[in-house]
């Protein structure tokens, strides 16, 4: 089974992916983060004075797809997470189950302003991340996808129930 988890930066994708990996610990399970498949810095466009990580052109979709397929051959469960995980149609068709974590703009702004993994990001860039998410991160087809309210504590039981259907 290939499980995809999408949502904006700081929505809780990585946390949920880790919880699911732990839950499925008795099965051969792997976790792929879309961020690990970004192109080299020289291949990514700039926005103002920053590298534009927030667009589909920043991802090596072929390498990402190939990694998902390779992991599927070796594992019972492959968990794939990323901001634009549902953007590429060919990759999107690989997913057996889809999870999408929604958070509102206010919570996103709070979490991003508290997130110093990449240093202090300017307000314009944080707003740009949100706008890119709205453009590239929200699945166009919300059929057969579990929408999760990330504004509240995420409950694992309903997610497991959906995954086992």
pLDDT in tens, 14-70: 999 999 999 999 999 999 999 999 999 999 999 998 899 999 999 999 999 999 999
Q: What is the total count of domains within the chain?
A: 1
Three-state SS sequence of the chain: CEEEEEECCCCCHHHHHHHHHHHCCCCCEEEEEHHHHECCHHHCCEECCEECCCCHHHECHHHHHHHHHHHHHHCCEEEEEECCCCCCHHHHCCCCEEEEEECCHHHHHHHHHCCCECECCCHHHHHHHHHHHHHHHCCCCCCCCEEEECCCCCCHHHHHHHHCC
Q: What CATH number is given to the structural domain containing 30?
A: 3.40.50.300
pLDDT of residue 112: 87
Residue 131 scores a pLDDT above 90: yes
Domain that holds residue 122: 2-163
Pairing of strands 50-51, 46-47: antiparallel
Report pLDDT for 73.
98
- Using 50, 70 and 90 to split pLDDT, how confident is the model at 142? confident
């Amino acid at each position: 089974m290939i499980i995809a988890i999408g949502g904006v930066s700081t929505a809780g994708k990585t946390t949920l992916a880790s919880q699911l990996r732990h839950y499925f610990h008795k099965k051969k399970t792997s976790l792929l983060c879309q961020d690990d498949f970004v192109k080299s810095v020289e291949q990514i466009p700039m926005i103002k004075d920053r590298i534009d990580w927030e667009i589909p052109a920043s991802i090596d979709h072929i390498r990402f797809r190939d990694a998902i397929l390779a992991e599927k051959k070796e594992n019972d469960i492959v968990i794939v997470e990323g901001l634009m995980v549902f953007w590429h149609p060919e990759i999107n068709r690989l997913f057996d189950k889809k999870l999408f974590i929604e958070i509102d703009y206010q919570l996103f702004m709070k979490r991003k302003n508290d997130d110093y993994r990449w240093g202090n990001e300017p307000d314009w860039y944080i707003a740009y991340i949100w706008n890119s998410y709205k453009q590239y991160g929200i699945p166009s087809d919300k059929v057969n996808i579990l929408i999760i309210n990330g504004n509240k504590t995420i409950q694992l039981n309903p997610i497991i129930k959906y995954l086992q259907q």
